[in-house]
Amino acid sequence: MLLTRLFAILTACAWMSFPASPSGKIIPPTGKRIKLFNGKNFDGFDKFLRTKGLNNDPDGVFRVENGVIHVSGVEYGYIITRDEYENYYLRTEFKWGEATHEPRAGKARDSGILLHVTGPNLVWPKSIEFQMIEGGTGDMLMVGGAAMTVKGERKTSGRSNRFNKGPWQDVAGYRDPVNELEKPHGQWNLLELIADGDSVKYYVNGRLANEGAGSTPAKGKLVFQSEGAEVYFRGIELRLLKK
């Protein structure tokens, strides 16, 4: 009985840590581990706010509280890694807070992770977005001229909905009536992405949500957004894929 329980626990841990491809094959991130967020401060990141510029955050839009990044959402902006990355597995957890702010007050809580970020700091830089939004987390957006082939279509702008997405409404607290991937409000959600060459896969709470190929660019910095909603991040880490 003890061995059975131990096996079940280890299996569950492995499942949470390593996403599965559509074929069911586990993709183990066996390369170097990089802890992007150290749980104490923003070492390794810069901050950028639309009206205040680089590393000027007097109102504390981005704070570290009890080992967690607290994003107030009061102003559009982001934290951005100082280093560029390619060929990696990224893992983080997020949960929504309560507040929403103009210009998205009362609308679906919104944030996101931008990957392959290149070019100057602005809202928003050239990148591929892992959309985080109530009722649509796992959508893919092509931002600022970035390009990706998704579901057989070459896209240089706009959104590609996650798999099996239901109807969507831009209201706070919205949940997909067909295929909601997020946990109930206030609970932590696991986000994982694999950037392998020019292909990208998104996972939400262990489920494949989206994928694309032919990404341009195929490497760059990573961004975590402030976009009008209170949100929390923790456990941001990256594993390089061995080539």
Q: What is the pLDDT of residue 147?
A: 97
pLDDT tens digit sequence for 96-122: 999 999 999 999 999 999 999 999 999
Phi-psi region of 173 (alpha: psi -120 to 50; beta: other; left: phi over 0): left
| Residue closest to 206 by CA, chosen among 189, 222, 223, 221 | 189
Residue 202: which pLDDT band, with cuts at 50, 70 and 90? very high
CATH code, domain carrying 149: 2.60.120.560
Mean pLDDT of 146-173: 95
pLDDT tens digit sequence for 227-238: 999 999 999 999
Mean pLDDT of 177-189: 96
User: Residue by residue, what is the 3-state secondary structure of 113-141?
Assistant: EEEEEECCCCCCCEEEEEEEECCCCCCEE
Token output for 143? 């931002």
pLDDT tens digit sequence for 186-199: 999 999 999 999 99
For residue 4, is pLDDT > 50? no
Q: What's the structural domain count of the chain?
A: 1
Residue 172: which pLDDT band, with cuts at 50, 70 and 90? very high
pLDDT tens digit sequence for 65-85: 999 999 999 999 999 999 999
Q: What is the pLDDT of residue 27?
A: 57
pLDDT tens digit sequence for 118-150: 999 999 999 999 999 999 999 999 999 999 999
Which residue range is the domain that position 128 belongs to?
A: 2-240
Whether the predicted model's global pTM rises above the 0.75 cut: yes
> Which has more pLDDT, 170 or 18?
170
Write the CB contacts of 184 (distance below 8 Å, at least 6 apart in sequence).
Answer: none
Token output for 20? 């599965």
What Rg do the C-alpha atoms of the chain give, in angstroms?
17
